[in-house]
Amino acid sequence: MPVVESTTRRTGGSTPHRAPGRATRPRRRQTSGLPWLLSLPALLLLAGILGYPLVRMVELSFQNMRLRELISGRPAPWVGLDNYTKVLSDTDFWAVVWRTVAFTVVAVIFTVVVGLGIALLMRRVARGVRLFMIVAMMFVWAMPQLVAAQAFRWITDSDFGVVNYVIDKLPGVDYQNHSWFVNPWQGWSVITTLVVWAGIPFIAITLNAGLTQVPKELVEAATVDGASPWQTLRSITLPILKPLLIIVTTLSVIWDFGLFTQNWVLRDGHPEPQYQTLATYSYTQAFGQSRYSLGSAISVITVLLMLGVMAFYIRQMFKIGEVD
Amino acid sequence: MTNLTSVPGADVVPAPAAKSAGRKPSTKREVNAFTGLAHIGLVFWALVTAGPLIWVVLASFKTNTEIFLGKPFALPQSFSFQTYVDAWSEAHVGRYFFNSVFVVLLSTAGTMLLGSMAAYVLARYRFFGNRFIYYLFVSGLAFPTFMALGPLFYILKNMGLLGTYTGLILVYIAYSLPFTVFFLAAFFKTLPYEIEEAATVDGASHTRKFFQIMMPMARSGLVSITIFNIVGQWNQYLLPVVVISGPGSDQKLLLTQGIAQISVSAGYHAQWSTLFAALTLSILPMIVVYAIFQRQIQAGLTAGAVK
């Protein structure tokens, strides 16, 4: 039977009579175990390495696991909500939460706005310039976070840093041996600059790719009708870019909320209290101080916080993935 | 300013300009003035972007004294690759480099194989539990890396995978799968159904359809997500720190760990130029990968994410 059909096809036989069968047949046959078989390996891995730790972490957060239990292998005692009450009544923890939230908001806004701006500008420049831009940005994107953080640590070094050297050259400014991390505002501007700088390429390149999909005719028609560039941007470009914007913004929030490497490295692996984010805080609690359960509770609260705030956008992002 | 004529919008202006001669010229001039500014702004921005990178590369050729001399943008006195040789052999960067290459190669291959299979069936097959599995995968996107580090540590320890590449590779694959599946599922959906159906009719097996028809059609999407995974996994620092730990792990460290080690042990006394050489070496492979696949990355990003 398949042979016959294949020959008719090859000889260019007419196909209409096949149309109804075509729609149903592939679907029918596929209800076998094949789809499960193909997605099973990935699923198992995900369950084992992301899912199980997740469950264990939630479990751990209701226990009291200390170094003693870890070494002896004895089961850790259940303590109910103790860890949570301890964390939630801790003023240090809330300070860390607000700091992380504030940083995320500022960093994401800067990254997305500047990234969008650059993507828009890239559409307007000559091909050669655009290529140069993309290459420059790919360098940055390709740089491991750790490497970028190391570079920034040196650039802002109080004795030998380039930044102090350049600022000191300005007339009447003495920035020799200025330390950027004594004042947390200055320190966080350095960290934010680093994160935004490193985050822009991904967004700009993605949005630039998306902008190529904006139909030229629409923009031209709007311009002919007398729309200002701002109106064109708001009513034509942004709506078309919206799915992409939601994806990159959501991803940026997830990434920035989990800030770890940058402040960790810039503070030499020992972030002072005013440079702790939720990620470093839970890590220090769990591994630095061997309070594994407390660290787990902090992680659980962090994820709940983020999911709570982001629920809407994450839903949007899921929907975008399901094109039909 | 001759390059202004090649601006995408500029070549479409003349045709309508013939019809409504009154308004067009002013619009055009506005666009051009703006474009000139845009060029200047962009070049400036590119320099700012690439500045730190240039500085790192320059510093990697300098001696310690030169680095501490206080002339950050001065060219090194001599371009010798001695710092690179030192970093490569004495600081064991060579070994760490190949460790990283080995791990990333295997884990990216694994991610792509598992991820594309899962994404393919999720995108093209209707079966019971499809949506459930899809959401399961994609919800993995919402979890920040650091969060399950503690329990991850225990599991790997219990399974005897702590300090092994097998463990690390499995962890890398699992952490990369959500985005890979999310992106590829969207990509597979955009591909035409007719060719696949023709193959079914011709009696092609599922495996054959997948490898000989779907994979080649999805090439640009596969390439760009592969690059994305290579970069992401090459850049990992936190996961290897957790996984490659314990006794006997000195030999197995990855490049990012090696770099961290150099900078921690260096203080103000040791060879800082070694650190910069190591940093430069860590960026190089990514640049090579980008240079080769630049075009596909663009194509893949466009097709996959925008419908």
How many of the other CB atoms lie within 10 Å of CB of A137? Answer: 24
Domain range for A189 is 81-321
pLDDT at position B35:
66
Is A24 among the domain residues? no
Q: In B219-249, which positions are buried (b, 16+ CB within 10 angstroms) versus exposed (e)?
A: ebbbbbbbbbbbbbbbbbbbbbbbbbbeeee
Question: CA-CA-CA-CA torsion for A118, A122, A126, A130, nearest 10 degrees?
Answer: 90
pLDDT at position B235:
82
Is A4 among the domain residues? no
Domain identity same for B88 and B41: no
Res B10 pLDDT > 60: no
Q: Tens of pLDDT along B168-217?
A: 999 999 999 988 998 888 778 878 888 888 888 888 888 888 888 888 88
Asked if the Cβ–Cβ distance from A43 to B27 is below 8 Å, we say no
**What gap in Å lies between CA B121 and CA A37, rounded to an integer?**
10
Residue A283: pLDDT band with limits 50, 70, 90: confident
* Token pair belonging to B96: 């760490």
Q: Tell whether A311 lies on the interface with B, counting CB pairs under 8 A.
A: no
Q: Tens of pLDDT along B111-156?
A: 999 999 899 888 888 888 788 888 888 777 766 666 677 778 878 8
Phi, psi of A78 (to 5 degrees): -80, 135
Is B7 among the domain residues? yes
Asked if the Cβ–Cβ distance from B127 to A31 is below 8 Å, we say yes
Mean pLDDT of B302-306: 49
- The residue that leads in pLDDT, A193 or B54, is A193
Chain A positions touching B296 (Cβ under 8 A) are none
- The residue that leads in pLDDT, B258 or B75, is B258
Domain identity same for B125 and B250: yes
Q: What is the pTM of this model?
A: 0.75
pLDDT at position B110:
94
Is A92 among the domain residues? yes
B49, B66, B170: which to substitute to probe chain A, counting the most A Cβ within 10 Å? B49
Is B55 among the domain residues? no
The structure tokens 């899912």 sit at A51
Mean pLDDT of A129-140: 75
Q: Please, is A175 exposed, middle or buried when counting C-beta atoms within 10 Å of its C-beta (0-12, 13-18, 19+)?
A: middle
| Chain A closest-CA separation from residue B49 CA (Å) | 7
Is A17 among the domain residues? no
Is A41 among the domain residues? no
Res A211 pLDDT > 60: yes
Chain A positions touching B173 (Cβ under 8 A) are 45, 49
Asked if the Cβ–Cβ distance from A39 to B143 is below 8 Å, we say no
How many of the other CB atoms lie within 10 Å of CB of A77? Answer: 11
Mean pLDDT of A32-55: 83
Domain identity same for B217 and B278: yes
How many of the other CB atoms lie within 10 Å of CB of A127? Answer: 11
ipTM of this model? Answer: 0.71
- Domain containing residue B200: CATH number: 1.10.3720.10
B69, B146, B283: which to substitute to probe chain A, counting the most A Cβ within 10 Å? B146
Domain identity same for B32 and B170: no
Q: Tens of pLDDT along B286-299?
A: 778 877 776 776 66
Domain identity same for B194 and B289: yes
Q: Are A204 and A210 in contact (CB under 8 A)?
A: no
**What gap in Å lies between CA B44 and CA A283, rounded to an integer?**
39
Beta bridge partners of A63: A78
| Chain B closest-CA separation from residue A192 CA (Å) | 15
Is B66 among the domain residues? no
Domain identity same for B16 and B152: no
Domain identity same for B210 and B281: yes
Q: Tell whether A249 lies on the interface with B, counting CB pairs under 8 A.
A: no
CA contacts within 13 A on the Cβ side of B99: 23
Q: Tens of pLDDT along B71-110?
A: 666 777 777 777 788 778 877 888 889 999 999 999 999 9
Q: Which of A90-104, A299-313, B259-273 has the lowest average pLDDT?
A: B259-273
Instruction: Find the residue in A nearest to B210 (Cα).
Output: A38
Question: Which residue among A144, A247, A323 sits closest to B282, beta carbon to beta carbon?
Answer: A144
Is B71 among the domain residues? no
Asked if the Cβ–Cβ distance from B133 to A48 is below 8 Å, we say no
Asked if the Cβ–Cβ distance from A155 to B52 is below 8 Å, we say yes
- What is the total count of domains within chain A? 1
| Chain B closest-CA separation from residue A88 CA (Å) | 17
Instruction: Find the residue in B nearest to A301 (Cα).
Output: B147
Instruction: Find the residue in A nearest to B3 (Cα).
Output: A126
A89-98: long-range pairs with CB below 8 Å, 24+: A92/A273, A93/A281, A93/A298, A95/A273, A96/A276, A96/A277, A96/A278, A96/A281, A97/A278, A97/A305
pLDDT at position B206:
80
Alpha-helix residue ranges (DSSP H) falling in chain B: 14-19, 24-60, 64-67, 82-85, 93-124, 130-139, 149-158, 165-190, 194-201, 206-208, 215-217, 219-234, 238-243, 255-266, 272-305
| Contacts with B, A 36-65, CB within 8 Å | 36, 38-39, 41-43, 45-46, 48-50, 52-54, 56-57, 60
Q: Tens of pLDDT along A86-124?
A: 889 988 899 999 999 999 999 999 999 999 988 888 887
Is B76 among the domain residues? no
| Chain A closest-CA separation from residue B234 CA (Å) | 7
Chain A positions touching B72 (Cβ under 8 A) are 160-162, 165
Res A245 pLDDT > 50: yes
Domain identity same for B42 and B99: no
Is B69 among the domain residues? no
Chain B positions touching A3 (Cβ under 8 A) are 203
Percent of chain B with pLDDT over 70: 76
pLDDT at position B73:
66
Chain A positions touching B301 (Cβ under 8 A) are 205-206, 209-210
Helix A52-60 to helix B149-158 angle (10° resolution) is 110
Instruction: Find the residue in A nearest to B194 (Cα).
Output: A22
pLDDT at position B155:
82
Domain identity same for B45 and B109: no
Amino acid at A98: W
Quick one: which of B92, B86, B51, B60 has its CA closest to B276?
Answer: B60
How many of the other CB atoms lie within 10 Å of CB of B174? Answer: 25
Mean pLDDT of A58-86: 81
What is the average pLDDT value for chain A, to the nearest integer?
A: 79
Percent of chain B with pLDDT over 90: 10
Domain identity same for B17 and B113: no
**What gap in Å lies between CA A67 and CA B158, rounded to an integer?**
16
Is A179 among the domain residues? yes
| Chain A closest-CA separation from residue B295 CA (Å) | 11
What is the average pLDDT value for chain B, to the nearest integer?
A: 75
Q: Tell whether A216 lies on the interface with B, counting CB pairs under 8 A.
A: yes
* Winning range, highest mean pLDDT, from A55-59, A277-281, B16-20, B217-221: A277-281
Is B54 among the domain residues? no
**What gap in Å lies between CA A32 and CA B159, rounded to an integer?**
33
Chain A positions touching B57 (Cβ under 8 A) are none
pLDDT at position A32:
66
Domain identity same for B18 and B137: no
- What is the total count of domains within chain B? 2
Percent of chain A with pLDDT over 90: 12
Is B75 among the domain residues? no
Asked if the Cβ–Cβ distance from A42 to B145 is below 8 Å, we say no
CA contacts within 13 A on the Cβ side of A197: 26
pLDDT at position B280:
82
Is A59 among the domain residues? no
Domain range for B225 is 84-305
- Domain containing residue A271: CATH number: 1.10.3720.10
Mean pLDDT of B211-225: 83
Asked if the Cβ–Cβ distance from A54 to B73 is below 8 Å, we say no
Q: What angle do CA B257, A282, A317 make, to 5 degrees?
A: 85
Mean pLDDT of B204-232: 83
* Winning range, highest mean pLDDT, from A193-207, A278-292, A299-313: A193-207
Residue B2: pLDDT band with limits 50, 70, 90: very low
- The residue that leads in pLDDT, A2 or A52, is A52
Res B257 pLDDT > 50: yes
